């Protein structure tokens, strides 16, 4: 192994993008293949101490800085990493996506893009300006590109462009890169030398809610059933697993791949809900023959996706069940031995906010190839 190239990670969370950095040239979905170790996260930052506990449990060599990035100086970040300006090869990170997520649109300030956390994009620009890495990767929810947030997104691009990085952006579908999840994320990538970054071509294809066109020359999307293959069967069902209460019986009656709309006048269930009266994820069940929908970071008690199989409660009733941690890891294309700190709700919040590993790897591989650090065959 040669000299490891240093990376500064901002808004690190549980470390999805950090994992992609350190395993950039590992074989797809090969849990024991950690890659050549070309890149190494030297410092990771986040305001959430629990997330950084998860990160340090999986990245023993990474140093961390806990705190509000608006109060953390670039000098502190560089000093913790043991680096000087221009020494980081990459700055990576995904500013908290809540201000730009569709799930927040019920709040007027989010619809009008007045969320104060949107200023965290400016902090990302500040750190890139002060550290002068060879390149950067910024990741966020697709909502950042919506017209509602046009001013913030354009300010981000102008700020990075003004530094000479020629930022390029694109919304990528995780399933198109071997992730068993129909999650769309925007990536913004720029190079210090001003050369244009070319995004990686998809390796997989299948139909989604936006397009039913399928490229038969590519590998089919990985389904939820394929993702769960080899996982141990349920040893015991806990109360935490069971979808019960007000809508417990209704959820249990919904077929795989359907949601609350099953129980409207237009489908075969009970006529219980008005048509399109809830979010799509309400009482949503996984379809074993398709990739999962987006894993929600902060789901309510009736927000899926739930597993397609029912379980039997102690009283003998059939109920839908929530996804278990090992299943959520598979849907994020994370290794099975990835350790996550906190309660089950903490785990889902950390994974729901993370970058799916194989999607992150595809972007990092492409960038490192174009910078000349990886052979193109490895990046393909």
State yes or no: pLDDT of 115 exceeds 80.
no
- For strands 135-141 and 184-191, give the pairing: antiparallel
The reported pLDDT for the residue numbered 314 is: 87
Average pLDDT on 137-142 reads 95
Judge whether 38 and 25 are in contact, CB under 8 Å.
yes
State yes or no: pLDDT of 99 exceeds 70.
no
CA contacts within 13 A on the Cβ side of 212 = 0
The reported pLDDT for the residue numbered 354 is: 95
In the predicted model, what is the mean pLDDT of the chain? 91
- Lowest-pLDDT range of 117-121, 148-152, 245-249: 117-121
Q: Name residue, tokens 């997330």.
A: 51
Judge whether 257 and 191 are in contact, CB under 8 Å.
no
Regarding pTM above 0.75, the answer is yes
Q: What confidence tier does 148 reach under pLDDT thresholds 50, 70, 90? A: confident
The reported pLDDT for the residue numbered 3 is: 79
Greater pLDDT, 334 or 298:
334
State yes or no: pLDDT of 270 exceeds 90.
yes
Average pLDDT on 215-233 reads 96
Q: What confidence tier does 136 reach under pLDDT thresholds 50, 70, 90? A: very high
State yes or no: pLDDT of 2 exceeds 50.
yes
Which residues pair with residue 319 across a beta bridge? 311
Domains of the chain: 5-214+339-379 (3.40.50.150), 235-323 (no CATH)
Which residues are marked as active site?
97
Gyration radius (Cα) of the chain, Å? 21
State yes or no: pLDDT of 132 exceeds 60.
yes
- Lowest-pLDDT range of 111-115, 154-158, 267-271, 332-336: 111-115
């Amino acid at each position: 192994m040669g000299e490891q190239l240093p990376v500064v990670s901002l808004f690190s969370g549980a470390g999805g993008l950090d994992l992609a950095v350190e395993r950039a040239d590992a074989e797809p979905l090969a849990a024991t293949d950690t890659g050549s170790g070309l890149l190494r996260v030297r410092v990771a930052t986040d305001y959430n101490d629990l997330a950084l506990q998860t990160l340090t449990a999986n990245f023993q060599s990474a140093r961390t800085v806990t705190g509000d990035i608006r109060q953390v100086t670039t000098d502190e970040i560089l000093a913790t990493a043991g680096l000087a300006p221009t020494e980081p090869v990459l700055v990576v990170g995904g500013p908290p996506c809540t201000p730009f997520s569709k799930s927040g649109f019920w709040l007027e300030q989010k619809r009008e893009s007045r969320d104060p956390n949107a200023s965290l994009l400016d902090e990302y620009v500040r750190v890139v300006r002060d550290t002068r890495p060879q390149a950067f990767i910024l990741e966020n929810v697709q909502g950042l590109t919506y017209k509602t947030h046009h001013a913030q997104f354009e300010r981000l691009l102008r700020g990075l462009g003004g530094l000479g990085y020629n930022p390029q952006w694109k919304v990528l579908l995780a399933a198109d890169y071997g992730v068993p999840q129909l999650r769309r994320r925007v990536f913004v990538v720029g190079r210090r030398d001003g050369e244009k970054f070319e995004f990686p071509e998809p390796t997989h294809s299948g139909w989604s809610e936006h397009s039913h066109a399928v490229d038969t020359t590519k590998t089919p999307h990985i389904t939820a059933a394929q993702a769960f293959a080899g996982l141990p069967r349920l040893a015991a069902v806990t109360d935490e697993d069971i979808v019960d209460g007000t809508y417990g019986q209704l959820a249990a009656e919904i077929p795989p791949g359907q949601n609350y709309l099953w129980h409207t006048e237009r489908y075969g269930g009970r006529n219980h809900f008005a048509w399109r009266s809830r979010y799509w994820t309400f009482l949503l069940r996984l379809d074993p023959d398709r990739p999962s929908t987006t894993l929600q970071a902060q789901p309510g008690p009736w927000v899926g996706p739930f597993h397609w199989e029912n379980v039997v409660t102690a009283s003998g009733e059939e109920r839908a069940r929530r996804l278990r941690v090992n299943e959520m890891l598979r849907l994020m294309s994370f290794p099975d031995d990835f350790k996550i700190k906190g309660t089950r709700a903490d785990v889902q919040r950390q994974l729901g906010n993370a970058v799916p590993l194989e999607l992150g790897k595809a972007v990092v591989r492409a960038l490192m190839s174009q910078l000349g650090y990886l052979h193109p065959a490895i990046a393909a």
